[in-house]
Amino acid sequence: MNRTDFEQLRSARTWNDAFEIILRFYSADGNGVKGLWGDKTPSYVLEMDLLKEIFPTARFLHIIRDPRDVVVSAKKAWGHNALRVARKWVRDMKAARQSACNLGKDYLSVYYENLLIDSETELRRISEFVERPFEEVMMTLAVPSENLGNAKGKRKIDRGNFGKYRQVLTPGLQKRVEEIVYDVIDTTPYELEYAERHKPLSPTMLTYLNIADGVKTVAHLLRRRGVVDGTRVMVGRRIQKKRNSH
């Protein structure tokens, strides 16, 4: 955006208005754009109540995945520790449940595995949720939506992309992951295979894993975006986390 385009933001009365101006600028149809826009950012699950205040007409589609496959995916894409990822899954699920009570009909949960196995049924349900007609074109992508993990570069639904934890995780590690998610997973269709009780991470261990994964994330950002851009992103994230903590 040049300065003339950017000056249009002065007319925005809300964050919602400001974001729409930016979206219209970058859309192919310009000011004639119609329909829905969306943003797929997993961390939004922690901020749904705030986002609803900023965007009153927003609706939230929460895609839930087997936590054991989540830890496998995070390890492959980011090198993150399986136990810390399991703890994050618990945190996100609890946050989603709390916000879902406030959001009512504007919140819909979908299980990732159902989306793969019976894509059309689930997409029809999602289409009804956002009040748009289902179209066959929804079953494919014009461009790949992911640049990490098993979905990298794919434009078709990989119907077998679940249950891979059985080939990747050792029985001992799988049991430990299940112990961490034990008190939350019982409200989902996922069945425990090893764990018999809830055994969360200790605060000390969680702190250690947060630091270790943080170092890996920094290294990934610097490799992917370069020193200047990567540092800017890191500083921005730290500022955001500090604000959220207050």
**Tokens representing residue 202 in the block:** 């200790």
Cα maximum dimension of the chain: 62
Tell me what pLDDT residue 149 has: 66
Chain centroid offset of residue 20 CA: 22
- Predicted confidence band of residue 144 (pLDDT cuts 50, 70, 90): confident
Lowest mean pLDDT among 10-14, 161-165, 223-227: 223-227
For helices 82-103 and 203-245, what crossing angle results, to 10°? 40
72 and 165 Cβ atoms separated by less than 8 Å:
yes
Tell me what pLDDT residue 241 has: 67
- DSSP letters, 134-195, are --GGGGS-SS-S-SSSTTTT--S--TT-S-THHHHS-HHHHHHHHHHHHHHHTTSS---SS-
CA 120 to each of CA 13, 126, 164: distance values in angstroms, whole numbers, following the listed order: 39, 10, 23
Q: Work out the average pLDDT over 109-120.
A: 96
Tell me what pLDDT residue 29 has: 64
Tell me what pLDDT residue 32 has: 54
What global pTM score does this model have? 0.82
Closest Cα to residue 176, out of 85, 65, 64?
Answer: 85
